[in-house]
Structures are given as C-alpha cells and as structure tokens.
C-alpha cells in the first residue's frame, strides 16, 4: 500500500514527467488532510497522440461481437480521429463521421468536408486517413428517384477550392494545403452516405455487425440502398470503451481536473451575500476561460433549483457543483458553501460528509463495484450523524461525457450496470445531501484509479468552504 500512503502524506502524485505533483503538507499525515495539486499543470509530452484506447476498443468489440464502429456523435468522432471537424462546430447535421474496424490491419477513417483537409495536413497531431465529401453534381437526376436509382452513386461536385497566388513561393504549410486540395477535392464522395460506403469498402467492412452511436447513420445508408451490413445501436459500446483512459486522455484529464477545481475555488472565494446565481455562474465561466477551459455545467444553491431565496444568504448552506472541459475532457468538483459563520448543524453535516468521502478514498481500488462505494459512503456518513434520508451517493466516471460509462444494458429498459472499478478509470464520488428548507451540501473530487488506490486530479480539501 505504498502508493496509497504516498497519496495521504502529499507525496508525488505520479511518474516523473507527467506534469502534476502534490505539495507536501505537514498536516496531511492521515486521510482527510489536504492533498494538494500544484497551482501550475504543464501539459505533458503526449500532445497530438491518438486518444482512443485501442486495446480496450478491440476487446470490447470482440466481447460484443462487433466488426466495426461508425461514429457521428462529435465526441466519439473526436475520440476516434483527434478531430472536431469545422462543420461540426457549425452544428451541421453531418459535420464529421468516423469509422473504426475491429481488424487492426484495416484502416479507420475521418469523413468530413473537403475544407477539413487543410487542418489534417497541418501535421500538429495524429489523425486517420481522410475521406472527403462535397455534393452531387447531377443532383437533378435523383429528384423523385426510385429505390433502384438511389443505389447509383452520383457524380461528386468538383470543388475548385481556394485560390493560390501564382508566381510566389509558398510556405511549407501553404504547399501542404495546395497538395491536399489537389489530392482530396477530385476524389471526394458525392455525400456523407457515399463517403461512409467508401470508407467501409476500404476497411473491409461491407458485411458484418457495425455499432453506430447515432441511428441516422442507418437512415443515410438505407436511403442509398446499402444494406449489406447490420447496424446496431452502439452508444453504450462507445462508453464501455471510453471508460478506461489511454495515456493521452489521462494527460488531458489532469489538466481538466486541475483547471476545473481552480476555477471553482476562485469562484467560491468571490461569492458574497446577495449574489445571484447568474452572477456566480458568470464568474465561473470567466475563471474557466482564463485557464483555457470551457464551462459545461454549473450549479449553485440547492441543486437544479438554485438559490431558495434567489440569492446567497448568510448562514444558509448551499452546494457548488462545477463541471468544465479542457480539449473536450471534463473535470468535476463540488463543495459546501456558507456565507458567514456556519451554524453548528452545517458544520456537523459537513464533517459527516467528509467522513464518508474519506472512507471511500481509503477503500477505493480496482475490483470494487460502484455499489460497494455507495454502501461505504452511506454507512460512514450515517454513522457520523448524517440523516440517511437526505443522502445521495453516486459514483460515475468522466471523460468526454460527464457520465462516461454505460448506464443500461439490454436496451431501453435494461437494468442499471454495477460497474467494476478498473485501473485508469477517471471518476468521482458524488456525495450531495439536500434538505429543502434547510439547504444543501456536497463533496466531489476528480480522481484516477491506480493499481492500489487513487491519484487526485484536483486538490482534495475540506468539503466546507466558509466565505
């Protein structure tokens, strides 16, 4: 248990070069002392590496008898390709698509508009091969077309592309843009659907079972009569893969967790009596932006109901639940807040909340189930004096989603999944307690599961913050 003991005494958090370290705290000789993450987090040397955890992806696909993946959800496209296509940012319906075969010898593809080629050839990160699409040059031939006619691939509209000034020496990057335009524009598919077919043919995926994260993919392929594959809903298959993080993902999440907690604590320190939710939320948004992150969600008050009085009131406890993302990866951090001196019951409940948090951190390791964490947290808090009826105990993983784990099996009405904790999961233990008419409290910290315990991605401090 050397690793856990090091965590508790504030020793180094991880291997050298990961850009994250704890500052030694004399008071942290036992669990519950502040475990502090340095104020500056340097992004480590995995920039530009592919995000997908390929060994896990192959194992999950084998387990589910899936021959390949097709992604339309922007976060899954990003996960498979290291790319958030420009047209996706414009909120186009089909801004970007990705394919990934189970056979490691076959290529996966990014499918996007011709303009995306310039981004890909900049060479700032690893990406799969690109297949571009434009529109149909002979679209008029398909107005009112029969099903048999729709199976005929249209002629792609050849985009002239951007103009390059003649007679000047191009920079190396500009030359790559010119070369990309010559390569991709003439070979573009006539539509997203035909681009998918092109990718599947080149990946040897014209037969078999493919998991899709959006059934609009099935609609696209059905429109053109491509029916040689079986498409199955795959949202939870993607989440099952994403639950265990690759090293590049962990690097991003260290920054995400750090930035999120710093932004939340800076926001907490700025709270004053009479502030409205919108004022507090705006401060968090600004704090995130200053660190290079973006706000995802922010709650201040009594969960989604926000401040019972419409503003922060002295002596009334409320929770802060802050979520933001860095390069699409999420941090999650929560604390109990009291403006002015906290009443005795507020202090007592915060102490019981801390007992529950510490009990989870003492026990957590690979092999436990989510239900074990719920039981440990609940029993410890109740034993410490917390009324059981006001407790919520909810473990969940994080990553590209706030809940980066499958929620149900066997379709829409399947049973919830009691996940087994694995090394390199990144997760939190949600520990809010809510009593309308009294107030609310919370504690939540972002951690990575290690072989014998955990690595914090934010400073783990007292759950109660008095401002």
pLDDT tens digits along 366-404? 999 999 999 999 999 999 999 999 999 999 999 999 999
The whole-model pTM stands at: 0.90
Exposure letters 215-229 (e unless 16+ CB within 10 A, then b)? eebbebbeebebeeb
Question: Judging by DSSP bridges, how do beta strands 329-338 and 454-456 pair with one another?
Answer: unpaired
Confidence band of 42 (pLDDT split at 50, 70, 90): low
- Residue 179 pLDDT exceeds 90: yes
Confidence band of 12 (pLDDT split at 50, 70, 90): very low
Q: How far apart are CA 199 and CA 203, in angstroms?
A: 6
Confidence band of 416 (pLDDT split at 50, 70, 90): confident
Confidence band of 414 (pLDDT split at 50, 70, 90): confident
Nearest to 20 by CA among 333, 256, 246: 256
Domain enclosing residue 16, as ranges = 2-45+244-466
Domain closes at, from 226, 242, 258: 242
Residues 205 and 308 in one domain: no
**pLDDT for 408:** 78
Nearest to 374 by CA among 363, 384, 385: 363
How many independent structural domains does the chain possess? 2
Query: Which of 90-94, 99-103, 238-242, 333-337 has the weakest average pLDDT?
Result: 90-94
**pLDDT for 239:** 96
Residues 87 and 162 in one domain: yes
Domain closes at, from 242, 262, 290: 242
Confidence band of 14 (pLDDT split at 50, 70, 90): very low
Q: How far apart are CA 142 and CA 136, in angstroms?
A: 9
Residues 155 and 267 in one domain: no
How many angstroms separate the Cα of 381 from the Cα of each of 152, 445, 446?
65, 17, 20
Domain closes at, from 200, 216, 242: 242
């Amino acid at each position: 248990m050397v690793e856990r003991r090091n965590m508790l005494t504030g020793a180094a958090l991880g291997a050298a070069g990961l850009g994250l370290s704890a500052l030694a705290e004399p008071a942290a000789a036992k669990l519950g002392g502040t475990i502090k993450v340095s104020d500056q987090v340097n992004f480590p040397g995995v920039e530009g590496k592919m995000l997908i955890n390929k060994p896990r992806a192959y194992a999950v696909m084998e387990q589910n008898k899936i021959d390949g993946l097709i992604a339309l959800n922007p976060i899954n496209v990003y996960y498979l390709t290291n790319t958030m296509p420009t047209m996706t940012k414009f909120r186009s319906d089909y801004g970007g698509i990705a394919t990934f075969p189970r056979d490691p010898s076959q290529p996966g593809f990014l499918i996007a508009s011709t303009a995306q080629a310039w981004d890909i050839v900049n060479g700032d990160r690893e990406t799969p091969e690109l297949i571009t699409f434009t529109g149909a040059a002979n679209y008029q031939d398909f107005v009112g077309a029969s099903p048999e006619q729709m199976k005929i691939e249209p002629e792609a509209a050849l985009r002239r592309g951007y103009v390059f000034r003649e007679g000047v020496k191009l920079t190396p990057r500009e030359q790559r843009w010119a070369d990309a335009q010559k390569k991709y524009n003439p070979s573009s598919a006539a539509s997203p659907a035909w681009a998918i077919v092109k990718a599947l043919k080149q990946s040897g995926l014209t037969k078999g079972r493919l998991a899709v994260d959006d059934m609009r993919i099935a609609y696209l392929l059905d429109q053109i009569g491509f029916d040689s594959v079986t498409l199955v809903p795959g949202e939870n298959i993607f989440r099952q893969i994403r639950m265990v993080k690759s090293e590049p993902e962990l690097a991003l999440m260290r920054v995400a967790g750090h930035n999120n907690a710093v932004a939340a604590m800076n926001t907490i320190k700025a709270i004053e009596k009479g502030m409205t939710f919108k004022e507090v939320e705006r401060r968090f948004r600004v704090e995130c932006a200053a660190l290079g992150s973006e706000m995802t969600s922010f709650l201040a008050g009594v969960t989604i109901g926000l401040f019972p009085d419409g503003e922060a009131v002295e002596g009334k406890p409320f929770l802060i639940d802050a979520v933001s993302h860095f390069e699409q990866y999420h941090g999650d951090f929560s604390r109990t807040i009291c403006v002015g001196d906290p009443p005795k019951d507020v202090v007592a409940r915060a102490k019981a909340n801390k007992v529950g948090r510490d009990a989870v951190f003492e026990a957590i390791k690979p092999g436990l189930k989510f239900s074990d964490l719920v039981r440990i947290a609940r029993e410890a808090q109740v034993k410490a004096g917390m009324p059981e009826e006001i407790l919520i105990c909810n473990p969940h993983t994080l990553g590209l989603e706030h809940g980066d784990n499958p929620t149900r099996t066997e379709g829409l009405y399947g049973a919830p999944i009691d996940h087994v904790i694995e090394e390199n999961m990144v997760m939190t233990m949600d520990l809010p307690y809510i009593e309308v008419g009294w107030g609310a409290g919370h504690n939540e910290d972002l951690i990575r599961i290690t072989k014998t315990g955990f690595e914090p991605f934010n400073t783990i401090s007292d759950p109660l913050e008095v401002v």
